[in-house]
Amino acid sequence: MREIVFDTETTGFEPGEGHRIVEIGLVELEDHFPTGRSKQFYLNPERDVPIESQRVHGLSTEFLSDKPLFAHIVDEFLEFVGDAVLVIHNAGFDMKFINAELSRLGRPTLAMARTVDTIEIAKRKIPGARYSLDELCKRFSIDLTARSKHGALLDAELTAQVYLELVGGRQRGLALAPVEAAAHAGPEENNRARQRPVPLASRLTEEEAARHAAFVASQLGDKPIWKLAEA
């Protein structure tokens, strides 16, 4: 199963008020395992970036002035996303912005039904906890030292780690210890008898073997059940 962990940075809170995307970060997962593929787009929002937003993500109007428009990267963005499930922390926010950009270009919007919201998973798994990305990273001991400011690609990478912790998929990247490997092996592999290359020599003396045979005969007669199985 292919999933794309997705995050955006914006000039404000509402696209309906003229706010735009300034950064998109995408991280690819395959069967709950990071593939190493990612995308990052800085975008010219075609408007000034309010100082309040700059304090959050550090992206200034000047820095973004020579970056491509969303229209210039939309095909690359859609090709990378494909038909993958979109994993997002607070999906409603990012989806309203990306769909506003797509609508502005007359492109089909992305369905909310294809999203997985890590906040909603966290509410089910750890009720009563704090659900900000920072708080969930701290809960799962995920390194936050690089997050002095928000960044779409960095936050997508952190969201991917949180998501894998929430769904129990992070362990897939670990090598199994021998006992765990045996537990995960198929029934045929676990039940297959292993033969020694050279059989061990019997530690019974001839006298002990004779006494044992005499005891069995005295208790079970000369036709014990295992003799019937050998017949």
Known catalytic membership, residue 150: yes
Q: Is there a domain that residue 186 lies in?
A: no
Q: Is there a domain that residue 213 lies in?
A: no
Q: Is there a domain that residue 197 lies in?
A: no
Q: Of residues 19, 57, 89, 150, which has the active-site annotation?
A: 150
Q: Is there a domain that residue 145 lies in?
A: yes
Per-residue model confidence as pLDDT tens digits over 131-187: 999 999 999 999 998 877 789 999 999 999 999 999 986 554 443 344 444 444 455
CATH of the domain at 71: 3.30.420.10
Question: Which DSSP letter does residue 144 get?
Answer: -
Q: Is there a domain that residue 179 lies in?
A: no
Beta-carbon neighbour count of residue 8 at 10 Å?
Answer: 25
Q: Is there a domain that residue 195 lies in?
A: no
Distance CA 90, CA 190 (A): 44
Distance CA 190, CA 135 (A): 42
What pLDDT is attached to residue 175?
Answer: 38
**3-state SS of the chain: helix, strand, coil percent to 5?**
50, 15, 35
Alpha-carbon radius of gyration of the chain? 31
Q: Is there a domain that residue 215 lies in?
A: no
- Identity of residue 51: I
What pLDDT is attached to residue 173?
Answer: 45
Q: Is there a domain that residue 225 lies in?
A: no
Write the CB contacts of 42 (distance below 8 Å, at least 6 apart in sequence): 22, 23, 59, 63, 64, 67, 68
Query: Residue 5: left if φ>0, alpha if ψ -120 to 50, beta else—which one?
Result: beta
Domain that holds residue 57: 2-173
What pLDDT is attached to residue 195?
Answer: 62
Rounded to 5 degrees, φ, ψ at 166 are: -65, -35
Residue segments in the chain with a per-residue pLDDT below the cut of 70 = 169-198, 221-231
Write the CB contacts of 44 (distance below 8 Å, at least 6 apart in sequence): 64, 65, 66, 67, 68, 69
Provide the domain count of the chain: 1
